[in-house]
Amino acid sequence: LGATTTPSLQQSTRMFGAQLFKGAFASSAGSTFNQSYVINPGDNVNLRLWGAYQFAGTLTVDPQGNIFVPNVGPVKVAGTTNGNLQNLIQQNVRRVYVSNVGVYAALEQAQPVKVMVTGFVNQPGAYGGVANDSILAYLDRAGGVDPERGSYVDVQIQRNGRMMQYVNLYDFLLAGQLQPFSFKDGDIIVVAPRKHTFSVDGEVFNPYDFEFNVDQLTVAKALSVARVKPGATHVSISRRQG
For 174-214, write each residue's pLDDT tens digit. Answer: 888 988 888 888 999 999 999 899 999 999 999 999 999 88
Q: What is the 3-state secondary structure (H, E, C) of the chain?
A: CECCCCCCCCCHHHECCHHHCCCCCCCCCCCCCCCCCECCCCCEEEEEEEECCCEEEEEECCCCCEEEECCCEEEECCCCEHHHHHHHHHHHHHCCCCCCEEEEEEEEECCEEEEEEEECECCCEEEEEECCCCHHHHHHHCCCECCCCEEEEEEEEEECCEEEEEECHHHHHHHCCCCCCCCCCCCEEEEEECCEEEECCCCECCCCEEEECCCECCHHHHHHHHCECCCCCCCCCCCCCC
pLDDT tens-place string over residues 90-140: 999 999 988 888 999 988 877 788 999 999 999 999 999 888 788 999 999
CA contacts within 13 A on the Cβ side of 14: 16
pLDDT, the chain, mean: 87
Q: What is the pTM of this model?
A: 0.74
Mean pLDDT value across residues 225-242? 89
CB contact at 8 A, 155 and 168:
yes
Question: How many other β-carbons are positioned within 10 Å of the β-carbon of residue 213?
Answer: 16
Cβ 105 vs Cβ 89: under 8 Å: yes
| Residue 2 in this model has a pLDDT that exceeds 70 | no
Give the whole-angstrom CA distance, residue 226 versus residue 211: 11
CA-to-CA distance for 123 and 13, rounded, in angstroms? 18
Radius of gyration of the chain from Cα atoms?
24
